Amino acid sequence: MTNSVQRAFDLAAEDYDRTRRKLVPGFDDFYRAAIDLIPFPHDQEIEVLDLGAGTGLLAAFIAYSFPKARITMVDISNEMLERARERFELGGDRFHFEVSDYGTAPIERKYDAVVSALSIHHLPDEQKRSLFQRIHGALNPAGVFVNAEQFRGATVEAERLNHDRWLTRVRDLGVDKQDLAAAVERMKFDRSATLEDQLEWMRAAGFRAIDCAYKNLIFAVYAGRK
């Protein structure tokens, strides 16, 4: 199971966490919006599946906010997931790790929340659509799917403007030139879809109460309930 996305993130793993705040302007609000869309009491024991968990950034926010959550982290890159294993080393059996391609692998169990951050845009659109359907099928009643994601502008002009504004912002934040170059190189593997299409695929998969709670530059956070 070697593909170009996996290779790109195997290479990025070492520097990934260090560069995040500069490459994702509004980092705190972005992840906070994802947490706020998980509709369960914070002391509830919930089963969470994090698709494309990487080094475990989103999972860490969830683990902190939902101290009884059991979190399964899936990633195609063993190197990225290795950082997550280190991060949660002392966390005990609340945390599970699976090296797998969620674009093709079935989701075997049921979850209260399926979450993902900055990952699903690596799939072709057809696989995104079918993944949304599989996620819907894998949720317990009233479960939630939260996707903190990149999106493509609705027109070529909008896409160019959003991308240019993102570039300006990350330079203003003082991103290191090499880190930016590496990120732009990785973005060549992106297959971002418009926000409108993503929300439509949520509806088509059967989600209800669909809400986009955050939108900034090329980033959006939306959710739907089963």
In the complex, which residues of this chain contact ligand SAM (CB under 6 A)?
5-6, 9, 52-54, 57-58, 74-77, 80, 101-103, 117-119, 122-123
Kindly state the smallest distance separating residue 177's Cβ from ligand SAM, in Å: 20
What is the C-alpha separation between 100 and 1, in angstroms, rounded?
Answer: 8
Kindly state the smallest distance separating residue 53's Cβ from ligand SAM, in Å: 5
Kindly state the smallest distance separating residue 76's Cβ from ligand SAM, in Å: 4
Q: Which residue is nearest to ligand SAM (CB)?
A: 54
* E runs forming strands in the chain: 47-51, 70-75, 95-99, 111-117, 139-150, 208-216, 219-225
Q: Which is nearer to ligand SAM, 75 or 112 (CB)?
A: 75
Nearest residue to 121 via CA among 192, 60, 52:
192
Q: Which is nearer to ligand SAM, 21 or 208 (CB)?
A: 21
Q: Which residues pair with 224 in a beta bridge?
A: 145
Nearest residue to 111 via CA among 74, 84, 148, 71:
71
Q: Which is nearer to ligand SAM, 99 or 212 (CB)?
A: 99
Strand order in the sheet with 47-51: 95-99, 70-75, 47-51, 111-117, 139-150, 219-225, 208-216
Q: How many residues does the chain have?
A: 226
Kindly state the smallest distance separating residue 13's Cβ from ligand SAM, in Å: 8
What is the C-alpha separation between 53 and 84, in angstroms, rounded?
Answer: 8
Kindly state the smallest distance separating residue 146's Cβ from ligand SAM, in Å: 12
For the packed helices 195-205 and 125-138, what is the interaxial angle rounded to 10 degrees?
Answer: 40
**Which residues are within 8 A (CB) of 90 and not within 5 positions of it... i.e. 6 or more apart?**
none
Q: Which is nearer to ligand SAM, 11 or 210 (CB)?
A: 11
Q: Which is nearer to ligand SAM, 103 or 143 (CB)?
A: 103
Q: Which is nearer to ligand SAM, 86 or 142 (CB)?
A: 86
Kindly state the smallest distance separating residue 52's Cβ from ligand SAM, in Å: 3
